[in-house]
Chain A
Amino acid sequence: MTTLAEIAKRLLESGKVKCVLGYEKGTLPLRSRPVFIRKPEDASKLIFDSFCENNLATYLPKRAEKTAVVAKGCDARSIVALAKEKQIAKENLYVIGVVCGGVVDKKKIEDMLGQEPILSAEDKGDSITVTTRKGSKEFKKSEVLRENCAVCEFKTPVAYDELVGEKIEEGKFPDKYQAVSQFETQPSEKRWEKFVGESAKCIRCYACRQACPMCYCPRCFVDESAPKWIDTGQDESDVQIFQLVRALHLAGRCTDCGACVSACPMGVDIRNLLQRLEKSVLDKFGHRVGVSPDEPMPLTAYTLEDKLDTVIE
């Protein structure tokens, strides 16, 4: 079975692409990080494991070079969405799909270890072994999966030029939105409390926005000064507007890749808003982002058949 390194080497040597965008081993335990490979001899750096938390599609909008990109299921869906929004030139892109068993939630592991500094971590496939100064501990991967990965129905990417890994049986999660539905039955004071509490953690570092492939606006609304939509400080309502409006801008576009959650240094529960919007779009339009290459994006395309009542409740 061809490995990522072999594919990359072949693509670079043949000149089919100028660079291969993938993951390499990071300098921290539980981290694999993005890497741009341009020389065939560097192709051996490419890996794929349970620590590949970034969505590489974020580097693709307006990319001029012929690029091959390693894409997990969620990332591949982002690529489909970006192509529909005309942000990538398909002829310049070669998608190397990877079958993905999910990414671990490093914050969960750190919590389970009582914040004891982690010296090293090993991905054993079904389990992760983590070593601290106090010794080693093995976690079942299913116990420490990132929240979005735990309910992922696209372990095999929907669209690719070449696939690495054996296709595995997709999990079906009919209760995927159960937590969302339950949350929505709560009285509005409780829901507001949750929203205020999460927004209070936000420090406006914009890691979420920069990590997200669908946030590609040349000038984000938070940076606009005329008109100045919100101030740039830590005023409560300004931060809340940022969180809320960013989520709304992602309605019908977010593929629940989890890159924002992993990027956020403060542990803001961004998915609380995004998942509710995802469910709403599914209910109203029957649309799952980036799955079909032909279906138009639900909130940017309008047909006479569209319901005219409000989209988001």
Chain B
Amino acid sequence: MDAPAPYIHWGFILISLPNFLLICVMVLLFVLALVAPFPSHHPKDSGDD
């Protein structure tokens, strides 16, 4: 915990690995939220869930 985090240096982009991983997880979560089926109490179609 006391050691400095490793950094990713790519051109003008400089970001710590934990921050980079967190942003990746957030992007993944956002994409999943767009495509993942949402539970519904009243299925309008055939009702398979």
Are A and B bound to each other? Answer: no
Q: List the interface of chain B (C-beta within 8 A of A).
A: none
Q: List the interface of chain A (C-beta within 8 A of B).
A: none
